[in-house]
Amino acid sequence: MMALIQATLICVLVLYVPGYLLVRTCGLARFASFALAPIATCFFFVVLGVALQLMGIPCPAFVLPLAVFAIGGIAFTVRVLLVRKRGLRALDGGVAGGWRQWGIAALYVAVASAIVAVVFIPAIGGDPGAFARNDDTTTHLSVARAFLDTGYYSTLKVTSYANLGLSGSYYPAEWHVVVAVVASFLNDSVALASSGATIAFVAAVFPVSVLFFLQRFFPGRIGVWMSGALFSAAFCGFPWGFLVWGQLLSNMVSFVFVLPALALLAGMLERTSVAERVANALALLMALGAIAFAQPNGVFVFYIGASAYLIEYVFQVKRGGRKVALAKRVLCAALMLAGVVAIWLLLLKVPFLQEVVSATWPAIYPADKAMVYGLFLKFSDLEGVQWFVALMVFCGAVRALGNRKNVWLVAAWAFAVVAFIVDASSDGPLKHILSGFWYTDYVRVGAMVVLFAIPLASNGFDWLLRALARAVAIVSRGRLEGPVSRNLIAVCMTALLFWSLFFPLVLPVGGGHKYKPGLIVIRDTLERNYSWSFVQTGEEADFLDRVKEIVLPGAVIANVPNDGSAWSYGTEGLNILFRRAKGWGGTDTAEESEIIRAKLCDIDNDEEVRKVADDLGVRYVLLLDDRSGEDRTLSYLRYSPDDWTGIESITPETPGFKLLLSEGDMRLYEITQ
């Protein structure tokens, strides 16, 4: 557990310390700079990684935060000198100053950390080597390892096989750079760094980002700010949905930065002085860059929120302190909406987005069920219904519509809900129009629903709390009016919220039906995915440790990725050939991959096989689930035995192979040809 805490703290320091000075240099105040620091850090990690690769300069990963800190230090020093010379000043960021916001931020982190302790920590059990047996995780861990092995961190040249000579291509690998940096402080322990980074983003970065957003759009509303602490980590759909589906770790980082980016957009438009607007604009550019570098579909989430905000902003515009005539405001808002729709439709036709937009996840629910799930925040069968949280979202939406403040949030949330319903329940053009930018992946669209629902839930919780306090005061004829009464009601509502998150709901329908709480469904799924009895078992992990002691450094090991060995490059640094449940590399290596997978067992009498093995540097064969085993722990994703005959048919009697290590159904062979 101490190793996990250490990894988390290192990630927090890596994200916040280097970027803080960069945001301060833009002209924002201390708390705003703190809240936005991870954005600046991630943005400059990617920029530096690309620049160093283009210049052909490899370096240890820990150099990146040092370089960003140095850049920030120089820039901030220059700003301080300008402040003294020209009278420039730091901005307040549009939020209250003093200790209060820091105390509230600490509350956010504390509540989110408590939820993490219940939901995520049991899944990994404090094990520094724990990792999720998800398909995407093989790539996440391998890319981070490849960054460490090569000393290059460019998102333009990303591949899991960099150390095997593949040049790679563009991939939004911001998350992987962060993990590589954290791992460089942990003896290159990629799995531990990934777990620490996950906790850091869920328990610290995202909660503080939510607070920054609420302070911008609910100025002076301390009750809403305090309520937000309860919800930043309470929704299944985000960030938790991205940990059980995929895992979608890059997308998680992208979505984390959306809310602060929207707050910066508002600051850029609503602040009064040019300097304040420029400060917010500079920070916004970094935020949009960080979103795109992590996963470009986050930019489209921002586009939806920004469009709704801008339409409301135009409708509420004033001149000389007075509102413009209603007809003109309606016309401007209508033109803005038409422009937003036109740009959206044009983007659907952009050539380089066609592979994304045309991707199809088949419908999984009938329309009525999708509607219920969309409104009650269950976006896949890996999540659970969240009835109390949904109630708070509805209350927040009603309050926003009633007082005509932040109506744009309701509009953005409603759009996202409709997009999810169409995506999850239908197949056709409308599905791609509404959700194509997210691969028509209903889990990603559901996460977008959550991003706009969190502020509404915070608003609704505060509204309901105030309404109950007034009702109690009226019923008691003033005897139960005051801070003590309000605090007691707040405690009761908070207890009800957490009961709904972690305890089942039993309804007397059809003899009684038990609905498992959402976060418990998440926890159960995480425990399965991180279990040492699933795909790569504890015994297999121990076997891999012994393999590391035997094989020659740098020698390539042929393997069957579905037996659990796919993760062993990322977690153990073993130089395996197949690092995901599919063929090696890409289309350029399809022929060599096919020969190894289909014919490696014939290496003793097949010259073509020998040549391919020599060219690739294959010296060993690893089998974690030999065909002779009775209890094989395979992943059957994209697995067909016929595709792996050349490897799985190898036995101690096969000519050209020498058995080096054997235990149960696990084997390590050396190629003797």
DSSP 400-415: HHHHTSSHHHHHHHHH
Q: For residue 447, which of 367, 378, 353, 358 has the smallest C-alpha distance? A: 378
In degrees to the nearest 10, what's the CA dihedral of 494, 500, 505, 507? Answer: 60
Say what the pTM is.
0.94
Query: If residue 319 lies in a helix (H) or strand (E), which one and from where to where?
Result: strand 318-319
- Cα(300)–Cα(357) distance, rounded to whole angstroms? 12
Can you say whether the dihedral through the CA atoms of 223, 226, 228, 234 is positive or negative? negative
219-262 residue pLDDT tens:
989 999 999 999 999 999 999 999 999 899 999 999 999 999 99
The yes-or-no verdict on residue 282 having pLDDT over 90 is yes
What is the per-residue pLDDT for 671? 93
> Residue 505 forms beta bridges with which residues?
515
The yes-or-no verdict on residue 554 having pLDDT over 90 is no
Poorest-pLDDT segment among 232-246, 351-365, 411-425, 571-585: 571-585
Distances in Å between the Cα of 285 and the Cα atoms of 40, 132, 320, 575 are: 10, 33, 30, 39
**Mean pLDDT of the residues in the chain:** 91
- Cα(635)–Cα(146) distance, rounded to whole angstroms? 24
What is the per-residue pLDDT for 95? 46
16-60 residue pLDDT tens:
999 999 999 998 989 999 999 999 999 999 999 999 999 999 999
- Cα(55)–Cα(154) distance, rounded to whole angstroms? 11
The whole-number average pLDDT for the span 431-440 is 95
Among 90-94, 238-242, 470-474, which range has the highest average pLDDT? 238-242
The whole-number average pLDDT for the span 407-432 is 96
3-state SS assignment for residue 279: helix
Enumerate the H helices of 426-565 as residue ranges.
429-435, 442-475, 483-502, 518-529, 538-550
- Give the pair of three-digit tokens for residue 399: 């309050």
